[in-house]
């Protein structure tokens, strides 16, 4: 596996692969890789001859007071894990490579509508930073395929909308959430959980699964189901941000006849902010 940091080295390799007729997949990450990330890379290998994994902790998607400085960084072990599974290239740029004119002077991309609720409401500016950096990585790598995890459900919808709106020739693949044995969605931020909090954390997934089961059994009193899950999370020690049942296609409020739903939640548990979702066909 090749590790590159510069735009010139990256694009030299991309040109060679294109000359050879290879398709290219991108897996954007902020590093501190876990089994969930590895599943993205392995699936990307099914869709393209070459897989580029990006490692960049993007400052523009962190609001003031969030954990940008403390975000776990483990480039050496990340590189070893990627080499072991046969990734072709790790692109680990610095801020100046991604934002050559500086963050304050950067051209930005925003997606209205989908970014305004849920994580977008609780983390103002977050998705603006996400779409801007993902677009920049797309323009640098020029992939045929991009692979994202379902855990960040709202994010992958936003990126799909951006790609469609800008007519980018990129196919998005979404990989089901990879979980610990007790159901907790894998996340780099799980490292913030204390031992006691870690034992409580799977309650989030359990609450979403319970809503999903009730929806499958015919319940359509969405607000009541959301309120019950909120109470269960609060009783367990979480500080919920949102629990919502929405149309899976676009996160709009569903009517009683909608047959593809997603149950989304975000909640703080100690220092960790956890998100999760369950997709339900009814």
Catalytic residue among 19, 23, 34, 37: 37
Contacts of residue 69, defined as CB under 8 A and 6 or more positions apart, other chains included, come to: none
Task: Output the CA torsion sign for 98, 34, 206, 63.
Answer: negative
**In whole angstroms, what is the distance from residue 262 CA to residue 174 CA?**
14
**C-alpha R_g of the chain:** 19
Please check whether residue 201 is in contact with residue 179, taking contact to mean a CB–CB distance below 8 angstroms: no
Torsion of CA 43, 49, 52, 53, to 10 degrees: 20
pLDDT at 229: 98
Q: Give yes or no for residue 200 having a pLDDT over 90.
A: yes
Predicted confidence (pLDDT) at residue 179 exceeds the cutoff of 90? yes
Q: What are the sequence ranges of the domains in the chain?
A: 2-175, 188-277
pTM score over 0.85:
yes
**CB 92, CB 23: distance < 8 Å:** no
Q: What is the pLDDT of residues 50-64, one digit of tens each?
A: 999 999 999 999 988
Q: How confident is the model at residue 64, as a pLDDT?
A: 83
CB atoms within 10 A of CB 111: 20
Q: DSSP letter for 66, please.
A: S
Comparing C-alpha atoms, which of 20, 170, 150 is closest to residue 88? 20
The pLDDT tens digits of the residues spanning 160-176 come to 999 999 999 999 999 99
Per DSSP (E only), the strands in 59-164 are 89-91, 145-149
Percent of the chain's residues with pLDDT above 70: 100
Segment (H or E) for 262: strand 260-269
Say if residues 13 and 4 touch (Cβ distance below 8 Å): yes
* Residues 179 and 190: beta-carbon distance below 8 Å: no
Residues 114 and 250: beta-carbon distance below 8 Å:
yes
What per-residue confidence (pLDDT) applies to 47? 98
Closest CA to 277 of 260, 259, 262: 262
Q: State the CATH architecture for 188-277.
A: 2-Layer Sandwich (3.30)
Mean residue pLDDT across the chain: 97
Asked whether residue 48 carries a pLDDT value surpassing 90, the answer given is yes
Residue 89 tokens, joined: 């290239």
Spatial contact of 1 and 86, defined as CB atoms under 8 Å apart: yes
pLDDT in tens, 226-282: 999 999 999 999 999 999 999 999 999 999 889 999 999 999 999 999 999 999 999
Contact (CB, 8 A) for 116 and 29: no
pLDDT recorded at residue 63: 86
Check for a shared fold between 2-175 and 188-277.
no
37 is catalytic: yes
Q: What is the mean pLDDT of residues 111-136?
A: 96
What pLDDT is attached to residue 242?
A: 98
Dist CA 203 CA 41 (whole Å): 28
Residues 80-122 have pLDDT tens digits of 999 999 999 999 999 999 999 999 999 999 999 999 999 999 9
Nearest Cα to Cα of residue 280 among 247, 257, 255, 256: 247
Residue 65 has a pLDDT of 83
CB within 8 A of 16, min separation 6: which ones? none
Mean pLDDT within 187-210: 97
- The single residue listed with the structure tokens 């629990």 is 243
- 87: three-class secondary structure by DSSP: coil
Fold category of 2-175 in CATH: Rossmann fold (3.40.50)
């Amino acid at each position: 596996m090749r590790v590159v940091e510069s735009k010139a080295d990256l694009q030299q390799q991309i040109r060679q692969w294109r000359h050879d007729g290879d398709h290219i997949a991108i897996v954007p990450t902020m590093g501190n890789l876990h089994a969930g990330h590895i599943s993205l890379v392995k699936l990307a290998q099914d869709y393209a001859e070459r897989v580029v994994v990006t490692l960049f902790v993007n400052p523009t998607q962190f609001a003031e007071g969030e954990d940008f400085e403390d975000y776990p960084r483990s480039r050496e072990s990340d590189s070893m894990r990627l080499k072991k599974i046969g990734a072709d290239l790790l692109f680990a740029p610095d801020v100046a490579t991604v934002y050559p004119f500086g963050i304050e002077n950067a051209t930005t991309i925003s997606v209205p509508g989908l970014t305004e609720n849920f994580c977008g409401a609780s983390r103002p500016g977050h998705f603006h930073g996400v779409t801007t950096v993902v677009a920049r990585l797309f323009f640098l790598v020029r992939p045929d395929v991009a692979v994202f995890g379902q855990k960040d459900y709202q994010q992958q919808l936003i990126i799909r909308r951006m790609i469609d709106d800008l007519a980018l020739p990129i196919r998005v693949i979404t990989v089901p959430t990879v979980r610990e044995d007790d159901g907790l969605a894998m996340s780099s931020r799980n490292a913030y959980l204390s031992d006691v909090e870690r034992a409580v954390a799977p309650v989030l997934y359990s609450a979403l699964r319970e809503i999903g089961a009730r929806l499958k059994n015919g319940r359509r009193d969405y607000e009541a189901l959301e309120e019950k899950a909120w109470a269960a999370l609060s009783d367990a020690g979480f500080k919920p941000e949102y629990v919502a049942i929405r149309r899976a296609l676009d996160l709009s409020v569903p009517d009683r006849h909608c047959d593809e739903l997603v149950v989304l939640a975000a909640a703080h548990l100690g220092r960790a902010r956890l998100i999760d979702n369950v997709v339900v066909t009814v």
